[in-house]
Chains A and B, each alone.
Chain A
Amino acid sequence: MQKSLHIDPGKCTGCLQCEMACSYENYGVFNLSKSRIKVFNFEAEGRKVPYTCTQCAEAWCMSACPVDAIRIDAATGAKVVHIDVCVGCKVCTIACPFGTVNYVADSGKVQKCDLCGGDPACAAACPTAAITYIDADWTGLDKMRQWAGKTNTQPRASA
């Protein structure tokens, strides 16, 4: 079964535990500037939206990379940056339509979400289940159920 990160912004409180968990998992430090998931605050609307790589099936970052530094992790389906191969040309950051591959000046390489090898630290740290790691085929199920519940049908009469 392939799993994917599922984000429900309606549940996000903006606490940034996910960003700290991400930086700790990957760099051993609590540092928001090193996080691969970002929470955006739309202040006047009262909305907070966590955002990170969705691991496109046909990943443009991967296609664009001239040195084949972005490869698929067979176990998780994550598109993973191989740091030893990356030359820091940033073409992937241009190719990605969502901006979720980012250049890191310190290392001269790019970074993106790699699903932590199948146990994403951001999902584990999220206190409100705004970020979950679920069966990729059913990412829309909750939303479907919610809308299904709004359809205006009367219970069938039993007799």
Chain B
Amino acid sequence: MGWTRKILRVDLSKGSCKSEPLNMEWAQQYLGQRGLATKYFVEEVDPKVDPLSAANKMIMATGPLTGTMASTGGRYSVITKGPLTGAIACSNSGGHFGAELKMAGWDMVIFEGKSDKPVYLWIQDDVAELRDASHLWGKTTWETEEMIKSGHHDPQIRVASIGRAGENGVFYACIVNDLHRAAGRSGVGAVMGSKNLKAVAIRGTVGVSGIRDFKAFMTATNAAKKVLADNAVTGQGLPKFGTQVLMNVINEMGALPTRNAKEVQFEGARKISGEAMHEKRLSDGKANLVTNAACFGCTIACGRISQVDKDHWSVKNNPKYWGATGGLEYEAAWSLGAADGVDDLDALTVANMICNEDGFDPITFGATVGAVMELYTMGVLSKEQIGIESPFGSAQALIEITRMTAEGRGFGKEVGLGSARLTAKYGHPELSMSVKGQEFPAYDPRGIQGMGLTYATSNRGACHLRSYTVASEVLGIPVKTDPLVTEGKPGLVMAFQDATAAFDSSGTCVFTTFAWSLGDLAPQIDAACEGGEGGWTVERLAQLGERIWNMERLFNNAAGFTAKDDDLPLRMKTEPAKTGPAKGLVSGIDKMVPEYYQLRGWDKAGVPEKDTLARLGL
């Protein structure tokens, strides 16, 4: 059955932990993880709720394939209303934490209320209790994980925690598990911090046994693993270069937003690329990349484990950054690098480490630093205000601002607002490269038109992981489309959004979709889960994805979002790309959105029509 059929409800106000049966009727309609947890969330939480109030809830949810032998089956998602955006937030993470939650016997944990003092949730199989975390408050995620493991005398415990950023209310604080995997975006860590919940620690020894048909499941997962192994992206490119395989590719396409998206190509891209991570440094003769690494159950292993030069100025006399740890993925290399004009690979790696250590999203953070650097260049912000000279390209400024933000010190408090609030405060809201308050990632909508629509319509604010049309527009998966045109993109974006919502609800990683279609996912889910008459088919999963998308949209509309929020920053529409294949182009977002609404079955105001909702059972 895939599901454990058990959820844990934690009332932080009362200090209680209660077991409830999973709503199996909803599981048939929303599968698990993103879909099912969002269903619980929208049923229980007022869309107008203040994200940082006790009335907001936060759900950690696994999917039916989490904790199984399905490749990449280790994912969990955090669903809440995000403080950065005010929209539905759903952040997905790998590592080992999600599988441990499932192996302890739980499909999801719902947190409600607010504790009056710092606590952490301790789960040992069917026993769950809140414990005092006053000794952990003020600690980093790295210290917290270490202290919990040593406190319980068990190195096999898995921990998800917030660092100082989550405690300090950084609007884009994340939840970090297994030291360097994160439910990264939309500020889910700030919600956790607002509830005085420092960490969740789990030891699961029950295991996952409720597979509907084990034999069919092994056949299906083995076939799907072979598809991943035989595919050039998932079998070769990602293990060798990680997502950083894209840095040079996207730069050459003229779609690498550079210096707060003033430009679309970065002259330093080569120096911060996946290829550069393999090269030996001149300073110490070692490469930045130590090895690749897998999350739980993953046969791709795109993760980067990096080590910086001990004598690099940013870590001198600071041994805690000398060991190997999570290295740069493409989005972080872009946000800390190209978006700020910084080309010092080790400095970017260290900034990324600090983001992991104190738990904040490097995409929003790096993009916010880009906006700060532009304001500095314009003379709006001074060295005295920021605390350091901050022109584009200054690795020193990047590192110092990263530290200030991690520690909640000085100008770091303002950087912790994110670019939308910060630029508005200084009178230049147009300089925030964001949608619905969330910064867009490493693909310029002028050079990859489909990504513009992806950002504009994403239910959690600008994001690449809601419909990764880069796969089609750049890599030709499943079919090659022209990145420079808008024709056909609304349909493409919609198909990607629906399929991705299904993958995000299954417990597997969206990176499998470089090789897998729903046709590879469906047999695995069908073998794992009871699906009633007809079982779990491709068509059913696609419609389930569409149902989830519309459910999220309804929540956002009720929260106050309207069609005018499905738009891109003015710069994307008025300042043409200066170089590269997209030279002279702006985003055609205004052409794409109306067609997208029509295809979605939404009215001109972006509200789902009655027929659409009826068709989807909403």
Contact = CB atoms under 8 A, between A and B. Distances in A.
B297 interface: yes
A44 B229 CA distance: 28
B73 to A, nearest CB: 9
Nearest to A34: B207
Contacts of A125: 69
A127 B299 contact: yes
B63 interface: no
A15 B103 contact: no
Contacts of B463: none
Contact of B207 (A17, A21, A30): A30
Interface string B211-233: 00010001000000100010000
Interface stretch (B19-27, B287-295, B361-369, B582-590): B287-295
Classify chain A's interface size: 20 to 34
Interface string A20-47: 1101100111111110000000011111
A45 B305 CA distance: 9
Contact of A13 (B208, B225, B290, B293): B293
B207 A33 contact: yes
Contacts of A31: 103, 205-209
B140 interface: no
Contacts of A109: none
Interface string B290-308: 1111111111010001010
B297 A16 contact: yes
Interface in A129-144: none
A152 B325 CA distance: 35
A44 B324 contact: yes
B305 to A, nearest CB: 4
Interface string A108-152: 000000000000000001011000000000000000000000000
B324 A45 contact: yes
Contact of B209 (A13, A30, A43, A128): A30
A13 B68 CA distance: 17
Contact of B69 (A21, A34, A43): A21
A47 B291 CA distance: 8
A34 to B, nearest CB: 7
B295 A15 contact: yes
B323 interface: yes
B165 interface: no
B305 A46 contact: yes
Nearest to B67: A30
A13 B324 contact: no
A125 B70 CA distance: 11
Contacts of A32: 103, 207
A90 interface: no
A43 B322 CA distance: 12
B179 interface: yes
Nearest to A124: B222
A88 interface: no
A30 B68 contact: yes
Contacts of B218: 24
Interface in B186-216: 204-209, 214
A31 B105 CA distance: 11
B207 A43 contact: no
A14 interface: yes
A125 B73 CA distance: 14
Interface in B428-481: none
Given A29-B208, A33-B207, A127-B299, A15 B294 contact: yes
Interface string B468-501: 0000000000000000000000000000000000
Most buried by A among B207, B209, B323: B207
Contacts of B298: 13, 15
Contacts of B305: 46
A17 B298 CA distance: 8
A18 to B, nearest CB: 10
Contacts of B325: 43-44
A25 to B, nearest CB: 11
B227 to A, nearest CB: 12
A28 B295 CA distance: 23
B324 A28 contact: no
A70 B92 CA distance: 46
A12 to B, nearest CB: 9
Given A20-B69, A31-B207, A31-B208, A46 B103 contact: no
Interface in A33-78: 33-34, 43-48
A47 B307 CA distance: 12
Contacts of A127: 71, 225, 229, 299, 301
Contacts of B299: 15, 17, 127
B290 A46 contact: yes
A16 B206 CA distance: 17
B323 A13 contact: no
B346 to A, nearest CB: 16
B323 A44 contact: yes
Nearest to B68: A30
Nearest to A44: B323
Contacts of B307: 46
B324 A29 contact: no
B208 A17 contact: no
Nearest to A45: B324
Contacts of B295: 15
Contact of A28 (B69, B214, B291, B301): B214
Given A31-B208, A127-B225, A20 B297 contact: yes
A29 B209 contact: yes
A23 B69 CA distance: 11
B540 to A, nearest CB: 25
B235 to A, nearest CB: 10
B208 A15 contact: no
A125 B239 CA distance: 18
A119 to B, nearest CB: 14
A36 to B, nearest CB: 14
Contacts of B69: 17, 20-21, 24, 30, 125
Contacts of B323: 43-45
Given A31-B206, A33-B207, A127-B225, A16 B296 contact: yes
Given A31-B103, A43-B324, 13 more contacts: A13-B239, A13-B298, A13-B301, A15-B299, A20-B68, A27-B207, A30-B69, A30-B103, A44-B324, A46-B291, A46-B293, A127-B71, A128-B301
11 contacts: A15-B298, A17-B299, A20-B68, A24-B69, A24-B214, A31-B207, A33-B207, A46-B307, A127-B71, A127-B299, A128-B301
Interface of B: 67-69, 71, 96, 103, 179, 204-209, 214, 218, 225, 229, 239, 290-299, 301, 305, 307, 323-325
- 8 nearest CB pairs, A to B: A31-B207, A44-B323, A46-B324, A46-B290, A15-B294, A13-B294, A127-B299, A13-B301
